[in-house]
Structure formats: C-alpha cells, structure tokens
C-alpha cells in the first residue's frame, strides 16, 4: 500500500509541476489563486504517505506537527504595492499556504497534535502540543505578526533549537523515531544573526525521527521592502532600516535546511519567479 501511495504522490506532483510550467499560473492573475493549491496539497500528501505506513504510526495513529514561523521584520516586506496590488507581505503569503493546509488536515479527521513557535533572533513557544486545529489556525492568522517578539533580527538556528525541547518533552510513547513527526519551518531564509547552531538542532531532530518541511517565502524577481504609507493610505516608498531598503530572501539556505534526502525533509516555495 505504501509503495502504491508513493507512486501516486509522485504522479500528482508531476502533474502539478507540468500544469504550473504550461500555464505559468503564478503570472496569470485570473489563475493566481490556483498557484497556492499545490503547496498545501504537497504537504498533505507527505503527511498521508507517512500515515499509511504502519511503521510510521504512533501509539494512537497521530501526527505531531511543529510550526516554527519567522516573525522578523523582513517577513513584513512586499513588492511595490502600486505595481503588485494583489501581493501581500511575506508573512501573509505564508499564511495563504498554512491556513488551507490546516483546513485540509482538519477535514481529513486524522489525529494531529500541533505546536507553534515564533522566532526572530530568539524563539518563543506560542502553543505547546494541542490537538485543537481551529486554535492553531487562529494563532497563525491573528497572533503571528511582525513585532510579536521584541528582539530584532532573525536566527533560524535559534528557531530550530527552540523546537527541539518540544519533541524531547514528549511522553515516551511518542519519542519512537518511527512516530510521524514534522517541523514546518516558515521563513524567507534571511539571517541577520546566527547564534543558534542550526546543524546541531537538525541532527537532534533527525535522531528523533523528525522531518523538516522548509517553506520558503520571498520573491527574487522583484525587490521587496517595508512599505510606508501616508495618512490617506497611499504608498509613498519603502522604509530605510540601517541603510538597507530592500530585503534579500535566501532560498538556498532553506533548501540546505531541508536537505537532499526527502526521507528527512523537503523544500517548498510559497513564491514562484
């Protein structure tokens, strides 16, 4: 059954890739909403593929899903809103992927425990393990925001090291490396600080059987900055922060964090050039 599902997953992914390339839906405003569909579907398929394998089922068949979400200032950047009025901030574009994902997980009625961590140059647990998917969605939609944490900068190592204790604190029945466990790392990949050792955190997570879904957000085809608006709401330019106007996303770092082995992690982009 597992092999058959794996083939089905690959077939669906190939169909989606062909559709994207054929119709370039990310550049077509009439089809722009469809560009979001393959992303949550891809994550769902990964979860379902793991759930179908008896060796990956936990004591109650549950999935453990830890979200580590970047809320640094760069996640509030966007392209020129006069030229790209339908493109939200990086954080909003990430939400456009995460919220449908959680809705589909809820609709599947599969038992799922979620934790949510926000990070800048430090990480903070917003929600410990909870099976209330509606609550998780509300936190993603309304709580996660730039400015949530007072510490400036961004450190993905701090984020991953903040997630490790969540898995280490699980009851013994859930610590089995064969238990279905995932981290969804949401970030533009732009690091301004690197105090936390991401490599060590990834090694610890992999030892516990945790797979990393690296969800990158950030456009490389256009410049993105923090917008400044006048009193009437008109866009007047981008904010200058320490002599830097535009934020530069780092997709390559996010790919490295996912790794080359799809058994350990996958890379997904919320933005297509």
Percent composition of the chain: helix, strand, coil (DSSP 3-state, to 5): 45, 20, 35
- How many whole angstroms separate alpha carbon 113 and alpha carbon 133? 8
What domain range includes position 51? 34-269
CATH code, domain with 179: 3.40.50.410
- Tell me if 40 sits within 8 A of 97, measured CB to CB: yes
8 within domain boundaries: no
143 within domain boundaries: yes
27 within domain boundaries: no
> In the block, which residue shows the tokens 């990949």?
189
Tokens at residue 141, please? 């939609």
What's the whole-number mean pLDDT along residues 56-60?
Answer: 45
pLDDT at 18: 45
pLDDT at 51: 42
Looking at the structure of the chain, the number of domains it has is: 1
What's the whole-number mean pLDDT along residues 120-143?
Answer: 95
Helix residue ranges, H only, 53-132: 90-108
pTM: 0.78
13 within domain boundaries: no
**pLDDT above 60 for 66:** yes
174 within domain boundaries: yes
What's the whole-number mean pLDDT along residues 12-18?
Answer: 48
Sheet containing 181-187: order of strands: 123-130, 112-119, 63-70, 181-187, 210-216, 265-269
What's the whole-number mean pLDDT along residues 125-152?
Answer: 94
Tokens at residue 76, please? 């509030």
pLDDT at 150: 87
**pLDDT above 70 for 60:** no
**pLDDT above 90 for 194:** no
DSSP one-letter code for 262: T
What digits encode the pLDDT tens for the residues 240-271? Answer: 877 889 999 999 999 999 998 888 899 999 98
What's the farthest any 2 CA atoms get from each other in the chain? 60
121 within domain boundaries: yes
pLDDT at 16: 52
153 within domain boundaries: yes
pLDDT at 26: 41
Least confident of 48-57, 62-71, 150-159, 178-187: 48-57
What's the whole-number mean pLDDT along residues 100-124?
Answer: 92
Tokens at residue 140, please? 């993603």
Least confident of 54-63, 70-79, 93-102: 54-63
- Tell me if 127 sits within 8 A of 143, measured CB to CB: no
21 within domain boundaries: no
What's the whole-number mean pLDDT along residues 195-201?
Answer: 85
Percent of the chain at pLDDT exceeding 90: 61
pLDDT at 147: 87
């Amino acid at each position: 059954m597992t092999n058959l599902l794996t083939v089905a997953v690959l077939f669906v992914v190939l169909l989606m890739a062909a559709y994207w390339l054929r119709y370039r839906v990310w550049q077509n405003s009439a089809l722009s909403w469809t560009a979001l569909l393959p992303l949550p579907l891809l994550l769902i398929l990964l979860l379902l593929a793991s759930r179908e394998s008896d060796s990956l089922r936990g004591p109650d068949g549950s999935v453990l899903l830890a979200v580590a979400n970047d809320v640094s200032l760069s996640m509030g950047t966007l392209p020129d809103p006069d030229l790209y009025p339908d493109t939200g901030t990086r954080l909003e574009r990430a939400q456009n992927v995460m919220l449908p994902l959680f809705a589909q997980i809820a609709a599947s009625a599969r038992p799922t425990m979620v934790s949510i961590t926000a990070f800048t140059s430090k990480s903070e647990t917003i929600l410990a393990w909870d099976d209330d998917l509606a609550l998780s969605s509300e936190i993603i939609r309304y709580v996660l925001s730039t400015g949530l944490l007072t510490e400036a900068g961004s450190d993905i190592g701090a984020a991953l090291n903040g997630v490790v204790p969540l898995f280490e604190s699980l009851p013994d029945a859930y610590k089995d490396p064969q238990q279905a466990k995932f981290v969804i790392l949401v970030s533009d990949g732009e690091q301004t600080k690197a105090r936390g050792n991401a490599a060590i955190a990834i090694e610890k997570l992999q030892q516990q059987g945790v797979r990393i879904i690296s969800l990158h957000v950030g456009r490389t085809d256009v410049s993105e900055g923090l917008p400044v608006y006048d009193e009437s709401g008109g866009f007047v330019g981008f904010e200058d922060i320490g002599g830097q106007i535009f934020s530069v996303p780092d997709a390559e770092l996010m790919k490295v964090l996912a790794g080359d082995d799809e058994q350990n992690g996958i890379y997904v982009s919320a933005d297509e050039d």
